[in-house]
Amino acid sequence: MRMMGQLPPGQNALFYQFCIDNHVPSDHLLRAIDAVLDLERLRSHLTPYYSMIGGPSIDPELMIRMLLVGYGIRSERRLCEEVHLNLAYRWFCRLGLEGAVPNHSTFSKNRHGRFRDSGCLRWVFGEVLRGCMSAGLIKGKGFAVDASLSKADANRQRAVAGSETIDWGDRRRATRAVREYLDALEADPSEAPAPKSISLTDPLSQWTAAANGAAFFAYSTNYLIDTAWGIILDVQATTANRAAEVESTKTMLERVEAGLGITPERLIGDTAYGTAPMLGWLVEEKGIDPHVPVWDKSERTDGSFSCSEFRWDAEANTYTCPAGKQLRCDRRNFTQPHHNITQADTVIYRSSKFDCESCPLTSKCGPNTPQRRIARRIHEGARALARRIAQTPEYQRSRHERKKVEMLFAHLKRILRLDRLRLRGLTGASDEFTLAATAQNLRRWAKFHALAPPSTG
């Protein structure tokens, strides 16, 4: 039998012996991250953005550490509260028991001021990436690319039709997101199709529809990963349209080549990256094998002969039809030299009208035209290479490796809760995506470091 217990009287001791390090478990993830995170050079990177006089500011390393532990916390006020209360967060941020946590307002001003102007988050991402490379987590053989939508902080009720004329008022009093939109219009004054809807709070966000049919304003995050360990090599925020997403792949590949000196042997992607210009750029300019399905709408479904049923002869620069007749690109005579390339980047090959008139296969070849035409893309060689790669066992392995990008996006939205952005504008989206990608790489690097055997050298 035992009598009822009772808590001892609280707060009676005058002095305490308390070591915060003893209260952070040895297997805590923050211990593993702290073991690999090195921000020694951060202050020298930010020196040009601070004044030489005045009072001391918040330690930039403290801000980065707070952002990393709070990458899943949407409110900066709540982040400061969590760091104040959580012992593990205090230990990771080097605050001890009595260190003062920055005021959330000051924290926000520094984050969106000199941190953004200096490209600090991109710099930290690069430092972590180089650490992953030094640890052997980047092999540089196969890369995979994909994009995912995140909802913008924009309400449908605060939107107007894209065809309407909008008075944005005094530019100097406009929000940062509106100023970014107006700057983008000035930088590219070309006549583009008017969007269906424009948000008045975040006009650069794109009105788009998800797979379930629900429409919303969104931005796209684009990941380029190394398939060996799933390390994110680069991240790019774009508007939510396929053309911008595909174009960002070129930017990321060139940035990785310039920063790390790596060009992959193969690039893995879905059909969106299988357009002729993209495949031509990969194969002809970069020498990268495209493990990408070809975007091809040339196959006919009406029972007539498709382009694939015509035999191509590269040496003779001709097509041969199923009846054995040739299609040539030089049947027309021009007074001036002609390169034969159309505005759509194709070369037109035509059969002879005489051959078609007497051909018994005309009804299956071109029943509604006097002669058969084939528009061959100037990057058809790259498309043919992609089709050959698609028949190999290596391509099937690449299809499986591409799931690593999808897993990162699932983690981004379910764990980091970045299915909806908090910051507005393309710059705000870029900040959030870059910080999240840095945290994901740190988690993977830290776990690898914790499992790696100790060095004997």
Q: 291: closest CA among 398, 393, 403, 381? A: 398
80: amino acid identity, one letter? C
Sign of CA dihedral 416, 418, 423, 425: positive
- Provide the pLDDT for residue 43: 86
Give per-residue burial for 71-110: e unless 16+ CB within 10 Å, then b: bebeebeebbebbeeeebbbbbbebeeeeebbeeeebeeb
For residue 10, name the pLDDT band (cuts at 50, 70, 90): low
Q: Take residue 438 and report the two structure tokens written for it.
A: 């840095």
pTM for this structure?
A: 0.86
Residue pair 266/399 in contact (Cβ under 8 Å)? The answer is no
Query: In what helix (H) or strand (E) does residue 224 lie, and over which residues does it extend?
Result: strand 215-226
Higher pLDDT, 379 or 397: 397
Residue partners of 94: CB distance under 8 A and separation at least 6: 61, 62, 65
Are the C-beta atoms of 326 and 319 separated by less than 8 Å? yes
Angle between helix axes 120-134 and 60-69 (nearest 10 degrees) is 70
pLDDT, position 430: 93
Q: Which has more confidence, 366 or 284? A: 284
- Condensed to tens digits (0 to 9), the pLDDT of residues 443-453 reads 999 999 877 65
Contact assessment for residue 290 and residue 279, using Cβ atoms and an 8 Å cutoff: yes
**Domain 125-293+390-449 indexed as CATH 3.30.420.10:** yes
The whole-number pLDDT of residue 388 equals 93
Q: What confidence tens digit (pLDDT) does each residue in 242-283 have?
A: 999 999 999 999 999 999 999 999 999 999 999 999 999 999
What mean pLDDT comes out for the span 110-125? 83
Q: Average the pLDDT over 84-102 and give the result.
A: 90
Q: What is the pLDDT of residues 169-204, one digit of tens each?
A: 877 788 888 888 888 888 876 656 778 889 999 999
Bridge partners of 188, per DSSP, are none
Task: List every span in the chain annotated with CATH 3.30.420.10.
Answer: 125-293+390-449
Note the Cα 441 to chain centre separation in Å. 14
